[in-house]
Amino acid sequence: MTTTRLSLTVALVLLAGAANACGNDSSTGRPTASTALPVPTPPAAAKFVHDIDNAWMPWIVGTQWRFVGKTADGTERTVVTVTSRKRVVNGVDTTVVRDVVRLDGNLLEATDDWYAQDTAGNVWYFGEDTEEYDGPKLDTSGSWEAGVHGAVAGIAMPAHPAVGDAYRQEYLAGEAEDEARVLATDANARVPYGRFSTLLKTRDFSRLEPNADELKYYAKGIGVVREVSLHQTDRTELVSMKRTMKRERTRA
């Protein structure tokens, strides 16, 4: 066991303990108290590797996923692409993942997310450069970067998630405070891409948006296959997945 693996294992145990101490919704595992989880401490830059091959979040260069979502506003179509581009964030060489969302054919959001995997296999989220569109209006307020203005990288996916694990996915006080808790590792789901069992099921939430909780289902070797809002009618499902080495453009 490496030092990185040991430190993260301890961190996840402490985070789970902190969530339990705050009190949980027994049906979903969401902490019910206002006290947030501790802010994680990312490993040193030398403890990160070049490729992201976590079984639950395989950000392999050239992979592209297509999702269709049903929302109160209409039909959303999302394309997520792992580009060949790299970006140094807070001293770490991260992989740029491009996420483009269209609502009824109109561009709604275009984001570059920055991820890196440590030597133990844990995927860290280092921030995003996001553009949100409301007609002609452009909003970039959701952008943040680890190491800038107090922002800290969070755990996007542990190497070996277990039921009860709770972790902070990002941190910029008052701006980016998403957290997650593992609910199951044997969930089932049927989506346009196929039928799955033994899925990882998490509940994602943020004290900044108490009505934005959602369940996420991950398949090994694929990643997210379904996202379901708990307080709205929104649902997003995987339609297709392919791998190509084509270099992606910087913007949609």
Distance CA 249, CA 252 (A): 7
Q: Which pairing describes strands 152-157 and 170-171: parallel, antiparallel, or unpaired?
A: antiparallel
Domain ranges of the chain: 3-243
- Average pLDDT of the chain, as a whole number: 87
pLDDT recorded at residue 9: 42
For residues 244 and 64, the answer to whether their CB atoms sit within 8 Å is yes
Average pLDDT over residues 118-144: 95
pLDDT tens for residues 195-238?
Answer: 999 999 999 999 899 889 999 999 999 999 999 999 988 999 99
The domain made up of 3-243 has a fold known as YmcC-like fold (2.40.360)
Strand segments (E) across 59-193: 63-71, 74-89, 92-103, 106-118, 123-134, 137-139, 144-145, 152-157, 166-168, 170-171, 179-191
Task: For the chain, give the percent of residues with pLDDT over 70.
Answer: 83
Contacts of 47 (CB under 8 A, 6+ apart): 4, 118, 119
For residues 48 and 116, the answer to whether their CB atoms sit within 8 Å is yes
pLDDT recorded at residue 39: 87
Higher-scoring residue by pLDDT: 37, 240 = 240
pLDDT recorded at residue 250: 42
Average pLDDT over residues 49-76: 97
pLDDT recorded at residue 40: 86
Distance CA 49, CA 59 (A): 13
